[in-house]
Amino acid sequence: MQTDTLSATFAALADPTRRAILARLSEGEASVSELAEPFSMSLPGISKHLKVLESAGLISRSRNAQWRPCKLETEPLKAVAGWLEGYRAMWEDRLDRLEAFLKLTDPNAREH
Amino acid sequence: MQTDTLSATFAALADPTRRAILARLSEGEASVSELAEPFSMSLPGISKHLKVLESAGLISRSRNAQWRPCKLETEPLKAVAGWLEGYRAMWEDRLDRLEAFLKLTDPNAREH
DNA sequence: CCATTATTTAACCAATAAGCTAATTAACTG
DNA sequence: CAGTTAATTAGCTTATTGGTTAAATAATGG
């Protein structure tokens, strides 16, 4: 994994299991075994995924007796959103042009 | 690389060289050697990165004589933005609470 | 202290990624 | 056709990833 945080974030997000874990955590904190429950994967497998998410800063872990509840952390997601903003104009611009095109080729428009 | 497109997109974005290439392409089309120029990497190395970007749908390639100009494609970025939207409320909510907190502890506010 | 539950660590494996150099393909140019 | 420029493919190496099972650690409860 690379050293910069954005790369670490994207790498962490590039796995459907990890994204599903984040989705689950967006509904509230959960223990490791709760998070593992929907998957056919072994518990150590989940544990590894959590480690990746944690080192990317996407989750934090506290402690409650023998449970280690995980919590979603949004900072890295904000960073991704910030990075994306640099490109948003590009696709919105394109959408504008598509709309213009549709208007030109719109049968209703042609009638006039 | 995984089969789902969102994973492929995130994986493609998880590399600073590839993100730099996209940034360059956001200013307009460019040939492979133009894209390679700012990097110390070998040309085949860049070629591989472009292949990753292309198979993630983040760029498309046309042909102009012996050049193969690359163009940024925004669909996958839109998909990422869409995915992110599911989490935006989370950090904006947090920001609201931070603002409330700052208001409470604001020296000016305390004077009254 | 012993057993149970929750989780992590260790050790391993197979597949993939990221880089290189050398060779090849493709297209233009004299 | 020969030479040059642009880019890709092949083949290799090394490191990382994503998964496994088995063993270890941590905390609770009787």
Average pLDDT, chain A: 89
What is the reported pLDDT for B79?
97
Q: Is B2 in contact with A23 (Cβ distance < 8 A)?
A: no
- Partners of A30 in beta bridges: A70
What is the reported pLDDT for A110?
43
The end-to-end CA distance of chain A, in Å, is: 59
Q: What is the pLDDT of residues A59-106, one digit of tens each?
A: 999 999 889 999 999 999 999 999 999 999 898 876 666 766 676 666
Paired tokens of A26 = 């967006």
Å separating the CA of residue B8 from the C1' of nucleotide D7:
24
Give the residue whose CA sits closest to C5 at C1': A66
- Give the start-to-end residue ranges of the domains of chain B: 5-110
A61 strand C contact, CB < 7 Å: yes
- Partners of A71 in beta bridges: A60
Mutate to test the interface with B, among A55, A72, A90 (most CBs of B within 10 A): A90
The nucleotide closest to B45 (CA, C1' atoms): C19
Q: What is the pLDDT of residues B56-66, one digit of tens each?
A: 999 999 999 98
Pairwise CA distance, residues A58 & A11, whole Å: 11
Q: Is A16 in contact with B10 (Cβ distance < 8 A)?
A: no
Paired tokens of B76 = 């996958």
Task: Tell me which architecture the domain covering B5-110 has in CATH.
Answer: Orthogonal Bundle (1.10)
Task: Tell me which architecture the domain covering A5-85 has in CATH.
Answer: Orthogonal Bundle (1.10)
CA distance B69 to chain A (A): 18
Asked if the model's pLDDT at residue B110 lies above 60, the reply is no
- CB count, 10 Å around CB of A45? 13
Phi, psi (deg, nearest 5) at residue B59:
-140, 160
Tell me which nucleotides of strand D come within 7 A of a protein CB.
5-11, 16-23, 26-28
